[in-house]
Structure 1
Amino acid sequence: MDRLSMVDEIFLRRHHGYGLPIVMQGLWRSADAVDVRVLEAVHEALSRGALGRRVVRPRVPGARMRWEASTATHPLRYETHPVEDVVTWADARADVDVDPEYGPAWALSAAPTPDGGTAISLVCSHVVADARGLVSAAAAALTGESPAPAPARTSDVSDAARTVGGVLIDGTTASLGLVFSAHRRRELREFREAAAADRRPDSTHVTTGTVSAILDVDTAAWDATAAAGGGTANSLFISLVTAVADAAGVPMPLHISVPVDTRASHTVDNAMVITEVVASPDDSLSDIRRLSREAFARPPMGAPSGFPEEIAQILPDGIANRLTVGAGERDALCSNIGRLPRSLTSLGPYRTTGVATRAMHPGLSADRPASTTTRLSGYLCSTDDIYTLSLVGVDPQHFGDPGRLRDLAVAELAKRGLAARPW
């Protein structure tokens, strides 16, 4: 589809300062120095791929914003001096000006490491791709795969008619449902109560920056620990994030946003919905597995049952911003990106020694703070041999030191018999 989804527009509003700004970042480490010509080829392939697009605003009221191909690129940045701390370097590379409307929407950077290897960062605006989308775009660039054909162009007039008509029909149906259904009225009341709770002053905090840690754990050991506790790899992930937050002093229980991938093909689009899992440090892995199963069975976060989400896409910006600010945010985020394609474990002839994926929050400072409920975010991806856990502390009160965040994660993994290798 050539039109932005509701999720796309939420991330676009965050880009413009209505909430916590977000970019996606993929990271690679190699044991050898990667030839600049290899990275130039990857950069060229990315420029022709799915990340090469931008947002165009409609000329007809009621039409949604649309996608248009874009060739705007940041030049490849290949530093000459070795970087001592790959994670600190990656944090700095995530603070890049990627613009989904005026471009460029992505950036590729690299730097040598003291051991003779190379660190590589690919950043894109969350508006143009989610984590799986970034992985898909990177995999296509590394394998030389031809980009998918652009979606058929739709006119603003036809999209306005479809969108406004759908909102009117579905909205009227949902409103009538409130008249005749006590269940629908209860759903709406619960939705409004939850939304009001999310906006309570004591549920949000102001952040002026982030800290992060990245750790590798053997796949076999991770899976064995999860199975021994009656859980899954994802249960162990949620349990670890909960334990790290608890050790840092975050109030419990922890309300966790869990993205669920809804894509049916290898697209870069933000194809996900958000559900909520509420976990406590005392929950076993089997408890968390059950809580997760129950959460996935519930309707995802979003508009009240029956009401079309597209209504926020045709409202004036000011109203839509107020309605969607903080959408999907809870105390923590646990995003399991899953198994990465084998193509991401090498860069041409160079074998990678680590791959990580995460979301970051550029532009935060004392002069440009952001208000959010999120205190800690976790991201998990895996290859055949390694699970990579990326943690991003968003609350300065509880996560003000990247060394402490790393040490807390190492300690919680050790309690479960897992040896961590920090990046």
Structure 2
Amino acid sequence: MDRLTVVDEIFLRTHRGMGTPIALQGLWRTTDAMQPALLQAIHDRLRLGHLGRRVVDPRVPGARRSWRPNTRAHPLDITVGPLPESEILPWADTLGADLDPEFAPGWRLSAARVHDGGTVVALTCSHALADARGLIHAVTAALRSLESTAPDASPGQESSGLGRNGELRSRTTTSEWADAASQWATIFGGTARALHHKLSLARPAPDASPVRTARKADTTDRYLRPLLLTFDTAHWDATATTLGGTPNSLFIHLMANILWQNGFPNPTIVASLPVDTRDEPRVDNDLAMTEIAIQRTDTPATIRDQAKAAYQRRMSSPAGLPEEILQVLPDRWAYALTKGAGERDILCSNIGPLPDAVRKVGPHNCTRVAARAIHPDITAFPRTRLAGYLSQLDDTYTLALVGLAADNEFLPDAIDKACATTGLHPHPW
């Protein structure tokens, strides 16, 4: 697809300062040192692959923004180190700076030596470029092509395509007119009055301060606390079965109870659940959101039933309008219509099993792999107090957590208490 989706543009606006900034990150650990030449080969393939693109604005009113191939990239970033265990996440948290999906490269490949002689590799990208599954697909394509013909484009040049792993067509005025006509035809299908009513309620003041600082006053006591934990897959699955649930409903149950153990006062926790909507592997933000309400009396069994029903319904576009309306409005209007969309008390993103291709980087076996979101230069905190990203590699579940509350210093204790109550045994990543 060569044009941005509605979800792509929501994340593009967060990059522009409208809402909570989000970058996605994959982390790999090997037990031995990885050579710079191998890392550079992976970097070159990523540069010419699915992440090698940037956003360009349309020239025809009503047409959607489009993707243009972009082989410019941040240079391979290698930290000699060695990093102690306690510094791996603080190092990784800094890698979301200067990612720009419009005017500069939107991704970065970094690596660091670890104190035990191994290597940690981080691939970080703007959420405008891809969701978690899309990032994994981009990595998989790059790793599978390591033994293919070496890339032949030079850094800093924009090419007319994205190599053999997928081409993006150049934008043309003709296609923009056709796209604009399709967009407007959909939008004008009986939505004018609903739009007028919604915008009159959401209209920002003409002299409003920049959106970047809109919610600063009520979030000054909040800060980020990232954590990475691992669990034995067989034990997790057996625990879920014993409690009448599934591995996913156990994940949601654990997340809610961590938040309660961390002092969340309300008797009900509303969970936001991302849904992967892609019908084939591709790099895009191809997801929707749904939600469930969790009570203290809920179990993995009751959450299983709630989640199953919730996955059949999706959060709708604002005021019942066709979602295409968001792509023809000015950014500030579109942000006003979607502000807080998908934000609930907790975010439970079950990324699922990782492909076999990410188990090895060249000749190196990966002992740990994690996928998560980070929030570079955050000033506007979301409603979300705790976000979790669960992935599976072989016999290990990895849970990447980020606390976004004021009392995150107690988060490790809250995790231990919630796991003990459920019968789970977390281990450091």
Deviations 1:280-305 (A, max 9, x none): 33311111001111212224343344
The aligned residue for residue 176 of structure 2 is: 156
TM-score normalized by the length of structure 1: 0.87
User: How far does residue 170 in structure 1 lie from its aligned partner after superposition?
Assistant: 5.7
Asked whether 1:372 is paired with 2:353, we answer no
Paired residues in the alignment total 393
Contact 1:301–1:328 at 8 Å: present in 2 too? no
The aligned residue for residue 300 of structure 1 is: 315
User: How far does residue 417 in structure 1 lie from its aligned partner after superposition?
Assistant: 2.5
Paired with 1:19 and 1:206, the residues of 2 have a C-alpha distance of 15
Paired with 2:308 and 2:284, the residues of 1 have a C-alpha distance of 25
Q: 1:279 aligns with which of 294, 311, 315?
A: 294
Paired with 2:223 and 2:9, the residues of 1 have a C-alpha distance of 24
User: How far does residue 101 in structure 1 lie from its aligned partner after superposition?
Assistant: 0.3
The ranges of structure 1 where at least 4 consecutive aligned residues each deviate by more than 6 angstroms after the TM superposition are none
Paired with 1:310 and 1:135, the residues of 2 have a C-alpha distance of 27
Aligned CA distance change for structure 1 residues 398 and 208 (closer, same or farther; 3 Å): closer
Q: 2:368 aligns with which of 354, 361, 372?
A: 354
Note the aligned Cα RMSD (angstroms).
Answer: 2.5
Q: 1:291 aligns with which of 306, 311, 318?
A: 306
User: How far does residue 151 in structure 1 lie from its aligned partner after superposition?
Assistant: 5.0
The aligned residue for residue 382 of structure 1 is: 392
Deviations 1:70-122 (A, max 9, x none): 111011111112111222222222x3211010121100111111111111110
TM-score normalized by the length of structure 2: 0.86
Aligned CA distance change for structure 1 residues 97 and 62 (closer, same or farther; 3 Å): same
Paired with 1:342 and 1:228, the residues of 2 have a C-alpha distance of 29
The aligned residue for residue 317 of structure 1 is: 331
User: How far does residue 416 in structure 1 lie from its aligned partner after superposition?
Assistant: 2.5
Aligned CA distance change for structure 1 residues 59 and 206 (closer, same or farther; 3 Å): farther
Contact 2:51–2:107 at 8 Å: present in 1 too? yes
Q: 2:422 aligns with which of 409, 416, 420?
A: 416
Identity of aligned residues (%): 45
Asked whether 1:27 is paired with 2:37, we answer no
The aligned residue for residue 92 of structure 2 is: 90
Paired with 2:249 and 2:40, the residues of 1 have a C-alpha distance of 40
Paired with 2:304 and 2:260, the residues of 1 have a C-alpha distance of 19
Secondary structure of 2:191's match? helix
**Residue range with higher mean Cα deviation, 250-259 or 43-52:** 250-259
Letter in 1 for 2:338: T
The aligned residue for residue 211 of structure 2 is: none
The aligned residue for residue 394 of structure 1 is: 404
Query: Where does structure 2 lack aligned partners over 5 or more consecutive residues?
Result: 147-163, 202-214
The aligned residue for residue 52 of structure 2 is: 52
Aligned CA distance change for structure 1 residues 314 and 281 (closer, same or farther; 3 Å): same
Letter in 1 for 2:183: T
Query: Where does structure 1 lack aligned partners over 5 or more consecutive residues?
Result: 176-187, 193-200
Contact 2:68–2:171 at 8 Å: present in 1 too? no
Contact 1:206–1:372 at 8 Å: present in 2 too? no
Contact 1:133–1:267 at 8 Å: present in 2 too? yes
Letter in 1 for 2:307: S
Aligned CA distance change for structure 1 residues 406 and 139 (closer, same or farther; 3 Å): farther
